[in-house]
Structure 1
Amino acid sequence: MARPAACRIRSVLIALAAITLLTGCAEAAPDSPFPPRPADIDVTGIDPCAALTPAEQADRGVGPGEPGTGDLGDGPTRICGWSNFDDGYNYSVQTLPLPAAVVVGTPDSTVHVVDGYGVVQSTAFGDSFPLCSHYIDASDPHGIRVQVMATASNEDGSIKDFDEVCGKTTLLTSQALRNLRPAG
């Protein structure tokens, strides 16, 4: 049995209203603070200790990283850490069960781009042993945290500055992205 014209018109109007409503919602969604990613990184399948090649480890004066696991409350995490007691720095790469966007706007944070990936840079402990963290926008549900911490003062006893510590963090972030992202 054919539907009356009024029913067809009502169906078309309801469909148009739904499309208009959905389009309006899509336009109202906030813009991402990050550029489009060169490629998503599936952090559930990476080994954080693979963030540095053996040659990059040698350049830093560190051996193979020390792996670890844990739970951050929002899910599991894997971490790899390297220490160089001669140059006074600790390095780490950690998978995160949350996207990098959750740290946008936190105190002492700024948004940067490293090798095409959005990164939230956060600093802490500037009065003692400066720490610089990069939260990488690896995928929609997950992030990667790269950290460098000064573990010693300068030879003259002064505190290392954030420019130096964050410069080392940017280099480590670039190396981690090159070594952990999908080939292609």
Structure 2
Amino acid sequence: MSKSILKVMAAASVLVAAAACTTGGVGGTPGPTSGGSPTSESSKPNAEVPKRPADLKVNGVDPCKLLTASQMTEIKVAEAVPDQIEVSDLGKQPGCFYENGVKYAYTVVGLTNRDIRAWLDGGGNTTSKLLDVAGFGAAEIILTGTEGVNCAVAVDVSDGQALYVNYSPTTQKGESQDQLCGNAKKAATLAVQTLKTLK
């Protein structure tokens, strides 16, 4: 499988996972989502995002610098490939594919035009819940009615901005939804740790 096909597959999963804010997106049949305590579910409107421990703007940050070499080793990716990536209907923004050959990819984008409340307040065709990522509020985003496809985490790093991390298996199959979301959350945590050092 060529790198270009891999990038297309990973990019398509980013668009799917982030489709909550599109009004004309493809609907899904509601189905089970990943576990977690009922008190952490936040797909209802007006989810209260906790106060940030710091203000970490993503303007001008190179997404391919958000995971260090040691962090890339930790999540078993070998290559960081820059690209212009569109998350949902937000227009293309600088992003990075962190790839493990043809097995899976993490997509990292610093969104300068989206607050995580857009996902947590519901609507569209995704299910979201509120998480804690390195002390910051975050939205875990899953396409409604799917299981084992991908998972995204958007971290509330600054007013009107989010650090978006999507995990998508490409040829590696068999991970549960909890595992997919655990991978996305781990990479998001590492990226926030690095972002703190870049500002």
Q: What TM-score, normalized by structure 1, do the two folds share?
A: 0.70
Matches of 2:146 and 2:92 in 1, distance apart? 32
Native 8 Å contact 2:129 2:139 kept in 1 = yes
Which structure shows the bigger proportion of residues in helix conformation?
A: 1
Matches of 1:153 and 1:173 in 2, distance apart? 20
Using the TM superposition, give the Cα deviation of residue 183 of structure 1 relative to its aligned residue in structure 2, in angstroms.
6.2
- Structure with more contact order per residue of length (Cα contacts < 8 Å, sep ≥ 6): 2
SS in 1 for 2:138: strand
Matches of 2:107 and 2:189 in 1, distance apart? 13
| Runs of 5+ unmatched residues, structure 2 | 1-44
> In 2 relative to 1, CA 31–173 (structure 1 residues): closer, same or farther, beyond 3 Å?
same
Q: What TM-score, normalized by structure 2, do the two folds share?
A: 0.65
SS in 2 for 1:40: coil
Structure (1 or 2) with the larger CA radius of gyration: 1
In the TM superposition, 1:65-84 aligns within 5 A as: 65-69=80-84, 74=90, 77-84=93-100
Correspondence 1:175 to 2:194: no
Correspondence 1:56 to 2:75: no
Matches of 2:109 and 2:48 in 1, distance apart? 22
Native 8 Å contact 1:84 1:90 kept in 2 = yes
Matches of 2:120 and 2:146 in 1, distance apart? 23
SS in 1 for 2:171: coil
Give the % identical residues: 25
Matches of 2:104 and 2:166 in 1, distance apart? 10
Which of residues 135, 142, 145 is equivalent to 2:154? 135
> In 2 relative to 1, CA 129–151 (structure 1 residues): closer, same or farther, beyond 3 Å?
farther
SS in 1 for 2:59: helix
Aligned length: 150
Matches of 1:39 and 1:78 in 2, distance apart? 23
> In 2 relative to 1, CA 147–94 (structure 1 residues): closer, same or farther, beyond 3 Å?
same
In the TM superposition, 1:38-117 aligns within 5 A as: 38-69=53-84, 74=90, 77-85=93-101, 88-96=103-111, 97-106=113-122, 107-117=126-136
Matches of 2:90 and 2:100 in 1, distance apart? 31
> In 2 relative to 1, CA 118–32 (structure 1 residues): closer, same or farther, beyond 3 Å?
same
Using the TM superposition, give the Cα deviation of residue 57 of structure 1 relative to its aligned residue in structure 2, in angstroms.
1.6
Native 8 Å contact 1:83 1:91 kept in 2 = yes
Using the TM superposition, give the Cα deviation of residue 37 of structure 1 relative to its aligned residue in structure 2, in angstroms.
0.7
SS in 2 for 1:167: helix
Superposed CA deviations along residues 23-74 of structure 1, whole A, max 9, x for unmatched, are xxxxxxx976211111111111211111211112223332341111256665
Native 8 Å contact 1:132 1:165 kept in 2 = yes
CA RMSD of aligned residues (A): 2.7
Runs of 4+ aligned structure 1 residues displaced above 2 Å come to: 58-64, 69-76, 124-129, 181-184
